Amino acid sequence: MKIIVTGGSGLLGSALKDAVGTAAGTDTWVFLSSRECNLLDHAQVHERFGKENPDYVIHLAAEVGGLFKNMNQKVKMLEHNVLMNLNVLQCAHAHNVQRVMCCLSTCVFPTTVEYPMKEHTLHQGEPHESNYAYAYAKRLLDIQCQTYREQYSRDYFCIIPTNLYGPYDNFNLEDGHVIPSLIHRCYLAKKNKTPFYIKGSGTPLRQFLYSSDAARCILHFVSNGARRNVILSVPEKDEITIGAVATLISKYMRYDDVRFQPEFSDGQHKKTADTAYLESLLPPTFRFTAIENGIKQTVEWFNTHVECARK
- The neighbouring-strand residues paired with 161 are 232
C-alpha span between 28 and 96 (Å, rounded): 18
Q: Which of 134, 156, 187, 210 is catalytic?
A: 134
The question of whether 134 is a catalytic residue gets the answer: yes
**SS3 per residue for the chain:** CEEEEECCCCHHHHHHHHHHHHCCCCCEEEEECCCCCCCCCHHHHHHHHHHHCCCEEEECCCCCCCHHHHHHCHHHHHHHHHHHHHHHHHHHHHCCCCEEEEECCHHHCECCCCCCECHHHCCCCCECHHHHHHHHHHHHHHHHHHHHHHHHCCEEEEEEECEEECCCCECCCCCCCHHHHHHHHHHHHHHHCCCEEEEECCCCEECEEEHHHHHHHHHHHHHHCCCCCEEECCCHHHCEEHHHHHHHHHHHHCCCCEEEECCCCCCCCCCCECCHHHHHHCCCCCCCCCHHHHHHHHHHHHHHCCCCCEC
Give the active site residues. Answer: 134
